[in-house]
Structure 1
Amino acid sequence: MNDPQSASDQGVTGEINHRFVETNGIRMHIAEQGEGPLVVLLHGFPETWYSWRHQFAALAAAGYHVVAPDQRGYGRTDRPEAIEKYSQLHLVGDIIGLLDALGEEQAVLVGHDWGSPVAWNTAQLRPDRIRGIAALALPYIPRGPVSAVTGMTQALGPGFYMNYLQQPGVADAELARDPRTSVLRFFQWGFGDSPQAEAAALPIVPEGGTLTDLLPEPGALPEWLTEADLDVYGHDFEQTGFSGGLNWWRTMDLSWELTAPWQGAPMTTPAIYLYGERDGSVQLPGMDQLIANLQYLVPNLTRTVVLPGVGHWTQQERPEEVNAELLKFLGGL
């Protein structure tokens, strides 16, 4: 592992500290700032703790202890080799172990992309430990009669990108050829002004094609992303590769099987949901109905916020608006 004060500190202002904690059998790297009630920020793919760089100062100044881990498989946190070690039960266990390591009984979880399911599942499995949830990009998706991979494949066919990601080593090798460019292509794919951020642009890998066929050719950086930011991500993924993050998709069926005991369990934790108007993930089949019915699925949902012109990278694209909503939600708990 690299020293905590490494290239990932570039471009970050303020007193952000780094250390490691032991949780659920792994060594986890965390970035933290501030004192007060605990707020844990959970990143998605292909991101690290650094995706929350614009949230630390605002939340810490408001009186919160802000902690953003590199989640299992990412950054300077351990990367178990076995794919089955990346199930949602493992990821939830990591967060509960993190709270224990910090000496905290409860926390508010803020999740983006893959971090959102981790937040929702942690609250459902351990509601005694979670005071509130702020979900960015992905709403609460209750366990259905089939896994999400199966359901989306039934709706969109075998070319749906999640199927492609199930093949160990394939997408991993494609993305690892040039990690910095791969991250940029993902960011360009999903941001608000991207041509791919359209309802018609479904994530289907063409027959005989590759994952990168879905992603735009590298071009000018979005205005919310600097060369220094991209250097941070590129450095981290050069060190780790992409397999840890991709393994989260490869355990979707396993996670669906393991969570059968919680089928129909209520989601009672207070929550807020924020998503971008041009986020392709909310344009997938069935997501509009899910969002429309979210208040019934999450009775203590305080607010659903649609961010105009924003794509998938919510807290990076529109940090000031996201911070304002987070502080409003936190202040009401």
Structure 2
Amino acid sequence: MPALTQMPPLQFAATNGIRMGFYDAGPTDDPWPMVLCHGWPELAFSWRHQIKALSDAGIRVIAPDQRGYGATDRPDAVEAYDIEQLTADLVGLLDHLGIERAIFVGHDWGGFVVWQMPLRHRARVAGVVGINTPHTPRPPADPIALLRHRYGEQMYIIQFQDAGHGPDAVFGSRVQATFEAFMRKPLPRPPAAEAPTAGVGASPKTNLAFPQMVAAYDAAKDPRPSILTPEEMQVFVDTFTRTGFTGGINWYRNMSRNWRRSADIDHTVHVPALMIMAENDAVLPPSACDGMEAIIPDLEKYLVHDSGHWTQQEQPEEVSAKLIEWRRRRFG
């Protein structure tokens, strides 16, 4: 696929019992490489702009297809996708590359993973950057129960708990529509009195029913601009047509397990950290980052204007520039 020429050569590592596909660019003698961790439903390819910009700036960047995605193995067991395994995969990747410590950068679900890295593998972490995804204290109750109480049964994370894999089949049967629906910039928000109650631009609660949204989606009626070229879109469509969506959705199916098994973990982050927020992210708004300073003593925040959820792809130059600036200022 022509768009994949934007990426370095695909490599593989044996890590934590799986084979992981990853991309590596920039000087191999960089003492503080940056590991870029994607979210759902994405790939290492989501970091194509940052891989080029950071490596051109003399920074080593490593971007894996994480467990369940793309070129990386997809174990069958749901428990194989808990946060212990996801973080151990990254430690094993560092071991494979002979890297002692790295700066971990994560967007969306990748953000949850990288915030856990200094809590579980402190000796391997030099710094953390969260993009859109905040770090929060451990919830007072099972997060699935809290989400069900707040949003109801139609909220996509609640639907993703379906052991029968119903949402997986919806996305898998409409792969093109899934990425056409997701990979777009949000429309300007109307005044509250004029806000619609259904369809494109509806309230966040309505739009969180992602399987139903994709099942009924018609790209011809969507006024939002795409953030992908046709060639870039094809990379996602072809890859997920081959792999399906179950691997990534299994991350969500471990949220209760992760919560139960984290009771004895100190959630304070003791490394330099940067939080990059997106002005128009309806699912992970900047307000979700309020109070992070209480559990991250060395925290900086940066707001990207005119960006929805897919920040590193919507505003790639600004995100890359901030990563380079912060990395140089804090690590040389």
Deviation, structure 1 residue 210: 4.6
Cα distance 1:260–1:315, how it changes in 2: closer, same or farther (>3 A)?
same
**TM-score, normalised via structure 1 length:** 0.88
Q: Among 19, 24, 28, which residue is 2:16 paired with?
A: 24
- Could you list the runs of 5+ residues in structure 2 that have no partner in the other structure? 190-198
Q: Among 300, 323, 327, which residue is 1:326 paired with?
A: 323
Deviation, structure 1 residue 199: 8.5
SS of the residue 1:155 aligns to: helix
Question: Does structure 2 conserve the Cα–Cα contact (< 8 Å) formed by 1:10 and 1:229?
Answer: yes
Corresponding residue number in structure 1 for 2:271: 269
Corresponding residue number in structure 1 for 2:298: 300
Where do residues 1-333 of structure 1 align in structure 2 (5 Å cutoff)?
7=1, 10-13=3-6, 16-35=8-27, 36=30, 37-168=32-163, 169-188=165-184, 191-193=185-187, 200-203=203-206, 210-212=211-213, 216-219=217-220, 222-262=225-265, 264-283=266-285, 288=287, 290-301=288-299, 303-331=300-328, 332-333=330-331
SS of the residue 2:154 aligns to: coil
Question: Does structure 1 conserve the Cα–Cα contact (< 8 Å) formed by 2:69 and 2:247?
Answer: yes
Deviation, structure 1 residue 117: 0.6
Aligned AA (1:101): H
Greater displacement, 214-223 / 121-130: 214-223
Cα distance 1:210–1:223, how it changes in 2: closer, same or farther (>3 A)?
closer
Deviation, structure 1 residue 147: 2.8
- Could you list the runs of 5+ residues in structure 1 that have no partner in the other structure? 1-6
Deviation, structure 1 residue 205: 6.3
Aligned AA (1:176): G
CA distance in 2: counterparts of 1:229 and 1:194, whole angstroms = 24
Aligned length: 315
SS of the residue 1:80 aligns to: coil
CA distance in 2: counterparts of 1:204 and 1:227, whole angstroms = 25
Cα distance 1:216–1:269, how it changes in 2: closer, same or farther (>3 A)?
farther
Cα distance 1:210–1:291, how it changes in 2: closer, same or farther (>3 A)?
closer
**TM-score, normalised via structure 2 length:** 0.88
Cα distance 1:143–1:226, how it changes in 2: closer, same or farther (>3 A)?
same
Cα distance 1:23–1:155, how it changes in 2: closer, same or farther (>3 A)?
same
SS of the residue 1:10 aligns to: helix
CA deviation vs aligned residue, 1:52-90 (integer Å, no higher than 9, x gap):
010111111222221100000000100000111100111
